[in-house]
Amino acid sequence: MTYRALVLFDIDGTLVRRAGPHHREALARGILRVTGLSTTTDGIPVQGMLDPDIVAVMLRRAGFPRARICEAIPEIQRAAERYYLRVCPPLAHVHCPGVEPLLARLERRGILLGLVTGNLTRIGWRKLERAGLSRYFTFGAFGEMAKTRAGLVKLAIAEARRNGWIARATPISLVGDAPQDILAARHNGIHSIAVQTGITPPADLAAQSPNILLKDLRALRLRMVEA
């Protein structure tokens, strides 16, 4: 099946917000389990970062040998995912405004929905399952799959094309709440839609010149992703 458009969504601050401390705790628990080090994300500007990059910063700040970070991260990621699967609470009450009605409308319109997120794979899917939103999404590109958010967007587009879900001329948009989302869309030559539901000040989003800047997803119209 070929879809009329592809819309890629970030998760945190875009689909859900105020999801609790469990994600950050999972990264710290993964590090503790593998290295024995007590760490925290305090003081790390995690918005827009990929989980493996956050873990690397946590390890460096704790004095873990830099030469061993790359070797340790895959095991830390697996431990963090296992912890998050156990502790993630129900999240149906933390949807960003207008999320589920919009996703349902896009689905009815025949638009393919995918994820581009810094979350590790099992953390991202679990978060959406607990929010009751996972059924809307066919696939995703997650934090451990590429070195940058732009790389994740490239992977997502390539997968959609490889599976015959979109054609070369199919409109593609990336919806996110951080400057990194806007830059990743621009790097891949696709449409950027920024929403003000995260922690980035609206002026900082506007400074990156997204194609569209919205207060929240209640303002997104079909024509914005089909053009």
Looking up residue 52, the CATH number of its domain turns out to be 1.10.150
**pTM of the entire structure?**
0.96
The answer to whether the CB of 28 falls within 8 A of the CB of 41 is yes
Strands 172-176 and 5-9: parallel
Q: Which structural domain range is residue 217 located in?
A: 5-18+91-226
DSSP-assigned states of every residue in 60-122: HHTT--HHHHHHHHHHHHHHHHHHHHHHPPP-GGGBPTTHHHHHHHHHHTTEEEEEE-SS-HH
Among candidate residues 49, 64, 87, the one where a domain is terminated: 87
Amino acid 91 reads L
What is the predicted pLDDT for the residue at 87?
97
What is the predicted pLDDT for the residue at 20?
87
What is the predicted pLDDT for the residue at 19?
87
pLDDT bucket at 157, cuts 50 / 70 / 90: very high
Q: How many structural domains compose the chain?
A: 2
